[in-house]
Chains A and B, each alone.
Chain A
């Protein structure tokens, strides 16, 4: 049972101090199994995005504890967390957030080049493959800022997948996509969870997307309902 736990949080509490001190998360605890496709829903202001940023290890200003793959991540240094993210977490932001001066291909390749486990040729091959899968064939060498919003979103997804992370997190990953592409992304996520055992956690507003996942966690006023 312990082996199949992918991510675990215990009694997560977080405050915002600006403009005034406000408790966003009021003691959230849950466990996510390996290969589970989980969606977090809730009204805006319910704390779901904040929760996701804590899960992603990018936000370190919280109380409680966070474990991913059995590692305690609470209290690690920025650099240790960056290295951990690089290898184990893929993240798709709400707004695509690509490096505008780099081509789509380079954007996808960078995390893998940083990880340095594969040769440049292998990484390039993998990135092409991934972009093709996301219907971006022919756009690989365009600069990121010359792509449409939907295309950028898909490049960001390809980037999140490049290192075969054990956990993939998305903040409205299909928010900028039309229904066809949205469904394609859902299928990819589902496939990754089922066939490769990768854990997927997505914050979403889209009820169709949420209904298509293994489990739905609903947040309200900093607590799980």
Chain B
């Protein structure tokens, strides 16, 4: 009975000065919607950046590099003795380049639960020649299906077909700017010259346009078997094995797991691209800073409004206490009001935040493959915003109402 009386009093307070209630709700709405809007926008930007970066970068790369295995038979033999030795014009011995038997490594990694996609590549530096034009570039022999799983390359094809590489044994897909430089069209022929002096003609069966200019200017795709042939390597050869895992921030533990089974260099994207890591970290810090600022400013606003509401009612609180309402009743009355304001504000805030974010996606922004400003919604942002809105309002209502509940009615009534 007493409980419902308190709620009834809260209801009268809320409805009798509807404008004040409206302003209080608006304060919460503002905080919640701004939080959702800023986070969704920043998520969109971050996601776009990452998508762009990982369109050409795998999470883990396995390759063979001999530099670490310096073999010095003479120096190691006579290091501790008194023998004087002098080696003139030292040359490296030929070592095995690339990964000769890639299938075993490929299947080892495939067995790992965390591995999402694995693709073998045969990469080599070549000259592309067409008529009098001669352009330095990189040729990448790829397994079509796995490569597409990793990088979604087929989506970048703007002329011809991705699968043409399967049907045409001598087919090649060129970057858009590379094709323009060489003056080549679909079905034209292009000559490729390797560093070992092998020269071979291919037919242009497609053109791709990624969002990375250096790739469009220098890269070409071959079927992996054609690339092995060009490099004069066996049918199990690969120069690189690219791996994508479930959680790309967790490369270290994955590398630790597979390292004992693989006798080659394993490099994570973090090691290969420290500037990417730095950029991503910095963006995250900014995101947190902006979120905190919004929470702080909005929280303070909500606190002010609740404080004002309660201070205005201080005389009525004294009357209620004089006629027998306890401190707890006063708390119930004002916390009920705070809950209603918080809930209403949060609901309207979610709708407004969602609407504002959708509006942003209508703003045109045509750089690097984008058409409009990017927005990405995450359920946890909405959840956090609602929790924040209600919690802040409750705290903002709790502090002044606790003060009010302790007030000595006689001080107010005596005047």
The interface of chain A, by Cβ under 8 A from chain B, is: 49, 53, 56, 58-61, 78-79, 82-83, 85-87, 91, 93, 97-102, 106, 110-111, 113-116, 159, 163
Q: List 28 A-B contacts (CB under 8 A).
A: A56-B322, A58-B321, A60-B408, A78-B326, A78-B406, A79-B326, A82-B321, A82-B324, A82-B325, A83-B326, A85-B323, A85-B324, A91-B322, A91-B323, A97-B315, A98-B319, A100-B316, A101-B12, A101-B17, A110-B5, A111-B323, A113-B1, A113-B5, A114-B5, A115-B2, A116-B1, A159-B323, A163-B324
Which chain B residues lie closer than 8 Å to A115 at the CB level?
2, 324
Cβ contact within 8 Å between B1 and A58:
no
Which chain A residues lie closer than 8 Å to B328 at the CB level?
79
Given contacts A99-B316, A113-B1, contact A86 B408 (CB under 8 A): no
Q: Which residue of B lies closest to A90 (CB)?
A: B323
Instruction: Name the distance in Å between A112's Cβ and chain B's nearest Cβ.
Output: 9
Binary CB contact string for chain B from 310 to 340 against chain A (1 if under 8 A, 0 otherwise): 0000011001111111111100000000000
Cβ contact within 8 Å between A53 and B414:
yes
Which chain A residues lie closer than 8 Å to B319 at the CB level?
97-99
- Give complex CA distance A78, B5 in Å: 20
Which chain B residues lie closer than 8 Å to A53 at the CB level?
410, 413-414
- Give complex CA distance A100, B313 in Å: 10
Which chain B residues lie closer than 8 Å to A102 at the CB level?
12
Q: Is the CB of B31 closer than 8 A to any CB of chain A?
A: no
Which chain B residues lie closer than 8 Å to A59 at the CB level?
408, 410
Cβ contact within 8 Å between A114 and B410:
no
Cβ contact within 8 Å between B16 and A86:
no
Cβ contact within 8 Å between B325 and A114:
yes
Cβ contact within 8 Å between B413 and A58:
yes
Cβ contact within 8 Å between B13 and A111:
no
Which chain A residues lie closer than 8 Å to B408 at the CB level?
58-61, 78
Select which of B320, B323, B327 is within 8 A of A78 by beta carbon: B327
List 19 other contacts, CB 8 Å, given A58-B322, A86-B325: A53-B410, A53-B413, A53-B414, A58-B321, A59-B408, A59-B410, A79-B328, A82-B324, A82-B326, A83-B326, A91-B323, A97-B413, A101-B12, A101-B13, A102-B12, A113-B2, A114-B329, A116-B2, A163-B324
- Give complex CA distance A161, B240 in Å: 93
Which chain B residues lie closer than 8 Å to A114 at the CB level?
2, 5, 323-325, 329
Which chain A residues lie closer than 8 Å to B321 at the CB level?
58, 78, 82
Which chain B residues lie closer than 8 Å to A61 at the CB level?
408
- Give complex CA distance A60, B407 in Å: 12
Q: Is the CB of B409 closer than 8 A to any CB of chain A?
A: yes
Instruction: Name the distance in Å between A95's Cβ and chain B's nearest Cβ.
Output: 8
Which residues of B, 395-415, contact A by the 8 Å Cβ criterion? 406, 408-410, 413-414
Q: Which residue of A lies closest to B409 (CB)?
A: A58
Q: Which residue of B lies closest to A123 (CB)?
A: B1
- Give complex CA distance A58, B5 in Å: 22
Most buried by A among B324, B326, B408: B324
Cβ contact within 8 Å between B324 and A86:
yes
Which chain A residues lie closer than 8 Å to B8 at the CB level?
113
Instruction: Name the distance in Å between A171's Cβ and chain B's nearest Cβ.
Output: 9
Instruction: Name the distance in Å between A71's Cβ and chain B's nearest Cβ.
Output: 15
- Give complex CA distance A98, B12 in Å: 14
Instruction: Name the distance in Å between B313's Cβ and chain A's nearest Cβ.
Output: 9
Most buried by B among A87, A102, A163: A102
- Give complex CA distance A86, B328 in Å: 14
Which chain A residues lie closer than 8 Å to B410 at the CB level?
53, 56, 58-59
Instruction: Name the distance in Å between B296's Cβ and chain A's nearest Cβ.
Output: 33
Q: Which residue of A lies closest to B9 (CB)?
A: A110
Which chain A residues lie closer than 8 Å to B414 at the CB level?
49, 53
Which chain B residues lie closer than 8 Å to A98 at the CB level?
319
Which residues of B, 1-25, contact A by the 8 Å Cβ criterion? 1-2, 5, 8-9, 12-13, 16-17
- Give complex CA distance A102, B319 in Å: 13
Q: Which residue of B lies closest to A171 (CB)?
A: B413
- Give complex CA distance A85, B12 in Å: 24
Cβ contact within 8 Å between A110 and B327:
no
- Give complex CA distance A61, B408 in Å: 10
Which chain A residues lie closer than 8 Å to B5 at the CB level?
110, 113-114, 116
